[in-house]
Amino acid sequence: MPLAAVMTAPHKPIEVHNLPAAKIEPGGVLLETIFSEVCGTDVHLHHGRLAGVPYPIIPGHVSVGRVIETGGAVSDVDGNPITVGSVVTFLDVHETCHACWYCLVAKASTRCPHRKVYGITYSASDGLLGGWCEHIYLKPKVKTILLPARVRPERLIAAGCGLPTAVHAIERAAIALGDIVAVQGSGPVGLNAAILALLSGAGGVIVIGDPANRLQAAKEYGVDEVISVAETTPAERADRVKALTGGRGADITIEATGAPAAVKEGVAMTRDGGRYVIVGQYTDAGEVSINPHTEINKKHLEIRGCWGSDFSHVYRMVNVLARHGDRVGWEKMISREYGLNEMNTALQDVAAGRVVKAVVRPKG
Amino acid sequence: MPLAAVMTAPHKPIEVHNLPAAKIEPGGVLLETIFSEVCGTDVHLHHGRLAGVPYPIIPGHVSVGRVIETGGAVSDVDGNPITVGSVVTFLDVHETCHACWYCLVAKASTRCPHRKVYGITYSASDGLLGGWCEHIYLKPKVKTILLPARVRPERLIAAGCGLPTAVHAIERAAIALGDIVAVQGSGPVGLNAAILALLSGAGGVIVIGDPANRLQAAKEYGVDEVISVAETTPAERADRVKALTGGRGADITIEATGAPAAVKEGVAMTRDGGRYVIVGQYTDAGEVSINPHTEINKKHLEIRGCWGSDFSHVYRMVNVLARHGDRVGWEKMISREYGLNEMNTALQDVAAGRVVKAVVRPKG
Amino acid sequence: MPLAAVMTAPHKPIEVHNLPAAKIEPGGVLLETIFSEVCGTDVHLHHGRLAGVPYPIIPGHVSVGRVIETGGAVSDVDGNPITVGSVVTFLDVHETCHACWYCLVAKASTRCPHRKVYGITYSASDGLLGGWCEHIYLKPKVKTILLPARVRPERLIAAGCGLPTAVHAIERAAIALGDIVAVQGSGPVGLNAAILALLSGAGGVIVIGDPANRLQAAKEYGVDEVISVAETTPAERADRVKALTGGRGADITIEATGAPAAVKEGVAMTRDGGRYVIVGQYTDAGEVSINPHTEINKKHLEIRGCWGSDFSHVYRMVNVLARHGDRVGWEKMISREYGLNEMNTALQDVAAGRVVKAVVRPKG
Amino acid sequence: MPLAAVMTAPHKPIEVHNLPAAKIEPGGVLLETIFSEVCGTDVHLHHGRLAGVPYPIIPGHVSVGRVIETGGAVSDVDGNPITVGSVVTFLDVHETCHACWYCLVAKASTRCPHRKVYGITYSASDGLLGGWCEHIYLKPKVKTILLPARVRPERLIAAGCGLPTAVHAIERAAIALGDIVAVQGSGPVGLNAAILALLSGAGGVIVIGDPANRLQAAKEYGVDEVISVAETTPAERADRVKALTGGRGADITIEATGAPAAVKEGVAMTRDGGRYVIVGQYTDAGEVSINPHTEINKKHLEIRGCWGSDFSHVYRMVNVLARHGDRVGWEKMISREYGLNEMNTALQDVAAGRVVKAVVRPKG
């Protein structure tokens, strides 16, 4: 009877429950959770900002665990066998149908209407389908990746769900060697986008965010400039980016804030003919006013929304962690580990931005 | 002393003046104007909506003429000699520098700050640098194209500046075979975008516009559906497009209206993961409110501003006219020809949408 | 006990057998075959040129049929119900796994090692899994498309497997408005590539092939120029293409011949900085010698291999047939219909190029 | 009367001559040469392998110098004034016309037929238009870049012409985060391509080359694996790359050898659906046999030739040197500096691969 931290309803305190053990189907995998995480999405879930969530739920969508049982022979996408003792991560998105128009014709699987997401769209009564739990049950066809030896669980969970999200955003950003990239936001997605921009050949990376501990983290990860939102006006920030780019603005700007007003500001700091990737607007926080002549048409601007992640993003994330992990040191992002009985504190710390990355360790 | 219709200042009546004959420099070409046009830009110029215009000006940016003198040997981009009697068109944009950061690094020559445009950014005192004149002087290095025999001057001017603009928009639209394309706007740019979408493999084209004569023209050019703006609400229009696309929305929407509100509406009629090209917002007509979560990020939408034209767009325009002109019959777009002394009427007709295409014939 | 024309082994005469009726699984669909086809692949199969084919097989990979039974409720990718009496086509490729590295990371599903193909990789003992049979059994998860009313079965089968192959090739070709496209080969793939190039905005299409009936068909479909292989040398053909393109060569060349020597010739007729799509080299017919300096590097050439089709190509094919079918008149491609007892003749006619498109009608 | 090392004819010893001083035109710039280089192209020039070279020439196409005179006010592409004492580099390619079909329609300026190249296509009698000279005369409109303070001349010349060539190749390679990149060749272009692949987010870089000193340099620059050509067969090399990539082959392979046989080998080490960039086939060294079925079509392979550099590549090169120079340490590539009277030795050392980078210092 594994313990889980259950979010019973929006705004209600998280409760620790004993839940029924998983029944392993053929092709299923049972994990002992090594780490899960608390991310901004969990705060949104706790505030009831996402539609259609089947509370009570076990939050925690990106996790890493050790296999304790499999339903017969199971292997990962590279053909590596997944056996008892294997340390794995997995794509939290499941049941992408590969049979609908979005999957097959548009080839936009992140818009497949059949997707389910561990820790978000499964109810606690559906099984152990979230990371804030001693066990995670990987249903058959959940896409797993055996962690390479050089990617320790701490490193993977420090990257957390922010890194595959950033991998997708960087794919949309299409950075050329020497491009100047501005990143709006210094939470996990913003920091990871900045790190990946540096790893992708940017000629300079500017992070606009707050609070000071996150900007400090950005500097330690090697970004060229940080701009504090608290200490500047929007006009000053756009001016600062322009001053750093010969008066033109960033070649590419990546939005990772969730604040609608950031979009207008981000456009202002992007050069004519540049590219603006919007990845942070994960919940509906209202509207923003845009001038389509001066801000899009005459600028010859390209704006790219970026929704969700698919397996390729998690796979590439693991490759990046394996190749660049020692130099980047993602694990420095972990501010604190929380036990299952500390999840209320964890949610408050994330909501307040007091931590860069909050990690859950279900087993003391 | 050629006659020209001169726009002396915003809101002032157009006046017909005798202007000094051109002095032909080496590499320059003097044309007898066969046709020029009146387009929406000329209405904007007359209303004073563009900044930095050096009134008095000779309007008319896209034109076709017969060579009456050249400054020595001149040839077009394909190496065809341009000699007395040749019928040519030319790129109205001149003095793109090929030396600045936008030209050389960004490769976004339509954002080159040194560009000059015939009929818009040259003063009447600079010379015969606009099409509403019996003569047009092509300065050295103006890029000309010898018209193929099968492209009669009527056909070229019927396409006018709307066609290269639409060629550029279609380039940004990147239509795949079978895509459903919605076009907002039924003026010359919108009609040409619809025609080119049909020629580019679209599986269906929907034009949303007005008035009835333009929608009728759209149908004659083969579009699958027209929707009258006067007879529908924005919600009805988006619903209609969705009903025509399996509930999903258009794969690609092209905005060619100039109205900021069209942008919100256009996003609503585009499918998740689709593409939205904004080409019609040529002047500053104010702002529009956008929800970056529901309208960009979660939609995984791509929005592409499209500014100006370069030589490739005019060159491809002529190829398209040569190959598809007989079938499409662009010359049907011409509603009326105007003499130089009728330009006030012409501007009113274009502003009121009473004509599809207003053509200027400087010589009776 | 449906009748089938069975290819028992390479080089052996086709035999007509009674085969056991299909057992309909949940999600399966049984079709009465309206039409199937004989294509170049069937000739290759009969000559034993493909590896790993589990003879005896029922050939016929692209087909159209009428539903006579379903295993419960079944719908197509657009959500249309597939019921008794529905007229459908389907993607011959089945069992693409959506779980391997090629499917999920490379997003190159046509390289998925788990693919099976109706009419090619299934044995006759596996069931009614080929089109040369009175019945076709669509296994669960086979991707179907309900034919729109305006796409009659004759039209679809006239397009046959050549059209989705050409849709894929055109996707790789990325034609811009006004581009000149050369197509090598005038079999079904070549003719369809030429038709689609015309529908995709090409400024001119040149078909190089033989025999005369196929070149005549190309002209009737509207191509600008045809060049007979029998009546010219390779150098003359390249010279002819250059003469038609200002001395530069085609912007894009599409190879649809299967002859290795065509590759060298195709490169020679493509302009510097152009694109060369190789889609016709379906079997191993040997090598060709290439000069990587003059023919690739200095030309700044892009060469794109194009393998197989996925569901999007069949879906777009049906859209194209629905939108442009009346104008193009694909059914003119059908040279002759064959009954199941005439398949030996059919194979000979296709091998000799005596027919443009050979169609199979299993029920007299 | 500046001294220059003049290549009077193929195979003749280099001679040091006094040449007439440059006459500075308006917009021209005279440099005192700080460094130039000896690259593989210079060896090709000395062996007479390039067509149309107007011997005698002053070799040396990429150089860095200090301004000693300007013809009036001159500025670089960013608007920085170029004045006496400025340290600059420049694009060796000059007279790209921006008026021909390749420049304007194809937007493939490296195929412009009017291009001239310092150190290659100018005769010594045309002026001081090569780097093996105490002075270099930059004609009006030569595109210059003011070196940022952090890019010391040693660093720029160590990168030499190999770096902009590699910037172009990497642009064509379009590396995604985590891709495995194989580089064939360990000369300056190959080493720079490997360095840039690492900086562009590759998940692993494999260099195949020789001799040992260059492979050692590759390892010091951080590549994951090196394979000696001398110690392996082609089959062993392809097998080794496959063993490092889960049996699939490299996602992207970049050819930088100049040997035709490398093309067949490079295709073999690239995965299905991968990309192969050919940048090293700078001179005609003969043909190679390719199987278009197994090596291109069925592989769904993309092959991209890559010719020349344009200004954006040099501009991005300087950005990369400024941003990543301290970490990469390009100057380690310099094996030896040569005076003008040592150029015969320098050519021999480069031809024999005894040096990684041979630098010319015209002033003792």
A61-89: pLDDT as tens digits:
999 999 999 999 999 999 999 999 999 99
pLDDT tens per residue across span A273-331: 999 999 999 999 999 999 999 999 999 999 999 999 999 999 999 999 999 999 999 99
Q: Specify the long-range contacts of residues A9-17, CB closer than 8 Å, at least 24 apart.
A: A9/A55, A9/A56, A10/A45, A10/A46, A10/A47, A10/A48, A10/A55, A11/A46, A11/A47, A11/A48, A13/A344, A14/A46, A14/A132, A14/A343, A14/A344, A14/A347, A16/A340, A16/A341, A17/A124
| Band of pLDDT at residue B116, cut at 50, 70 and 90 | very high
pLDDT tens per residue across span A23-38: 999 999 999 999 999 9
Tell me if chain D has a CB within 8 Å of the CB of C303: yes
| Band of pLDDT at residue B117, cut at 50, 70 and 90 | very high
Strand partners, C16: C5
Of D177, D244, D311, which to mutate for an interface test with A (greatest number of A Cβ within 10 Å)?
D177
pLDDT tens per residue across span B236-268: 999 999 999 999 999 999 999 999 999 999 999
Tell me if chain D has a CB within 8 Å of the CB of B344: no
Residues of A in contact with D251 (CB under 8 A): none
In this complex, the residue of A102, A251, A305 whose CB is nearest that of residue B296 is A305
D-contacting chains (≥3 CB pairs under 8 Å) = A, B, C
Contact B301 A305 (CB under 8 A): yes
In this complex, the residue of D170, D176, D319 whose CB is nearest that of residue A171 is D176
Question: Residue C189: what residue type?
Answer: V
Residue B69, pLDDT score: 98
Tell me if chain A has a CB within 8 Å of the CB of D238: no
Tell me if chain C has a CB within 8 Å of the CB of A101: yes
Contact B177 C204 (CB under 8 A): no
Widest pairwise Cα distance in chain D:
62
Widest pairwise Cα distance in chain A:
62
Residues of A in contact with D202 (CB under 8 A): 323
Let me know: does D258 contact D282? Beta carbons within 8 Å: yes
Contact C311 A105 (CB under 8 A): yes
**Is residue A115 over pLDDT 80?**
yes
Q: Other CB atoms closer than 10 Å to residue A117's CB: what's the count?
A: 18
Let me know: does D176 contact A173? Beta carbons within 8 Å: no
Within this chain, domains D3-160+310-360 and D163-305 share the same CATH topology: no
Residue A204's closest chain D neighbor by CA? Answer: D323
CATH code of the region C163-305? 3.40.50.720
Measured between alpha carbons, how far is B280 from B169 in angstroms, rounded to an integer? 10
**C237: distance to nearest CA of chain D, Å?**
20
* Per-residue exposure over A285-322, b if at least 16 CB sit within 10 Å of its own CB, e if not: bebbebbbbebbbbbbbbbbbbbbbbbbbbbbbbbbbb
Domain D3-160+310-360 falls in which CATH fold?
Answer: Quinone Oxidoreductase; Chain A, domain 1 (3.90.180)
Contact B77 D99 (CB under 8 A): yes
Contact A78 C101 (CB under 8 A): yes
CATH code of the region B3-160+309-360? 3.90.180.10
In this complex, the residue of B170, B178, B246 whose CB is nearest that of residue C177 is B170
Give the domain ranges of chain B: 3-160+309-360, 163-305
Let me know: does D39 contact D359? Beta carbons within 8 Å: no
**Cα–Cα distance list, A169 to A163, A252, D199 (Å):** 10, 11, 18
Residues of D in contact with A167 (CB under 8 A): 177
Residues of B in contact with C317 (CB under 8 A): 178
Contact C178 B316 (CB under 8 A): yes
Q: Which token pair is B86?
A: 């040749």
pLDDT tens per residue across span D89-125: 999 999 999 999 999 999 999 999 999 999 999 999 9
- How many CA atoms, within 13 angstroms, populate the side-chain half-sphere of residue B291? 12
First vs last C-alpha separation in chain B:
16
In this complex, the residue of C102, C281, C291 whose CB is nearest that of residue D287 is C291
**Cα–Cα distance list, C163 to A101, A315, B207, C61, C147 (Å):** 20, 35, 28, 13, 15
Measured between alpha carbons, how far is B254 from B264 in angstroms, rounded to an integer? 12
**C275: distance to nearest CA of chain D, Å?**
9
In this complex, the residue of C171, C246, C317 whose CB is nearest that of residue B176 is C171
Tell me if chain C has a CB within 8 Å of the CB of A77: yes
Q: Other CB atoms closer than 10 Å to residue B99's CB: what's the count?
A: 17
B-contacting chains (≥3 CB pairs under 8 Å) = A, C, D
Put simply, the chain A residues between 279 and 298 with a CB less than 8 A from any chain B CB are: 279-294, 296-298
**B163: distance to nearest CA of chain C, Å?**
12
Strands C180-184 and C250-255: parallel
Domain A3-161+309-360 falls in which CATH fold?
Answer: Quinone Oxidoreductase; Chain A, domain 1 (3.90.180)
Of C114, C298, C299, C309, which to mutate for an interface test with D (greatest number of D Cβ within 10 Å)?
C298
| Band of pLDDT at residue A363, cut at 50, 70 and 90 | confident
Tell me if chain A has a CB within 8 Å of the CB of D201: yes
Residues of A in contact with C105 (CB under 8 A): 77, 311-312, 315-316
Tell me if chain C has a CB within 8 Å of the CB of B246: yes
**C306: distance to nearest CA of chain A, Å?**
18
Interface size B-D, in CB pairs within 8 Å, comes to: 38
Query: Which letter does DSSP use for residue B7 in this model?
Result: B
SS3 D228: strand
Measured between alpha carbons, how far is B347 from B354 in angstroms, rounded to an integer? 10
**D167: distance to nearest CA of chain B, Å?**
13
DSSP track, D315-331: HHHHHHHHHHHHHH-GG
Tell me if chain D has a CB within 8 Å of the CB of B315: yes
Question: For chain C, which ranges sit under pLDDT 70?
Answer: 364
Measured between alpha carbons, how far is D203 from A325 in angstroms, rounded to an integer? 11
Interface size C-D, in CB pairs within 8 Å, comes to: 143
A-contacting chains (≥3 CB pairs under 8 Å) = B, C, D
Contact C203 B176 (CB under 8 A): no
How large a percentage of chain B has pLDDT more than 70?
Answer: 100
**Cα–Cα distance list, C174 to B176, C168, C276 (Å):** 9, 10, 11
How much is the ipTM here? 0.96
Tell me if chain B has a CB within 8 Å of the CB of C319: yes
From B77-81, B118-122, D272-276, the region with the lowest mean pLDDT: B77-81
Residue D363, pLDDT score: 86
Let me know: does A209 contact A186? Beta carbons within 8 Å: yes
Tell me if chain C has a CB within 8 Å of the CB of D7: no
Residues of A in contact with C316 (CB under 8 A): 105
Tell me if chain C has a CB within 8 Å of the CB of D51: no
Tell me if chain C has a CB within 8 Å of the CB of B204: yes
How large a percentage of chain A has pLDDT more than 70?
Answer: 100
Let me know: does A209 contact A218? Beta carbons within 8 Å: yes
Residue A317's closest chain C neighbor by CA? Answer: C105
Residues of A in contact with D81 (CB under 8 A): none
In this complex, the residue of C263, C290, C304 whose CB is nearest that of residue D302 is C304
Of A298, A299, A301, A302, which to mutate for an interface test with B (greatest number of B Cβ within 10 Å)?
A298
Of C225, C314, C323, which to mutate for an interface test with B (greatest number of B Cβ within 10 Å)?
C323
Across B310-334, average pLDDT:
96
**D151: distance to nearest CA of chain A, Å?**
13
Residue D364, pLDDT score: 65
Tell me if chain B has a CB within 8 Å of the CB of D311: yes
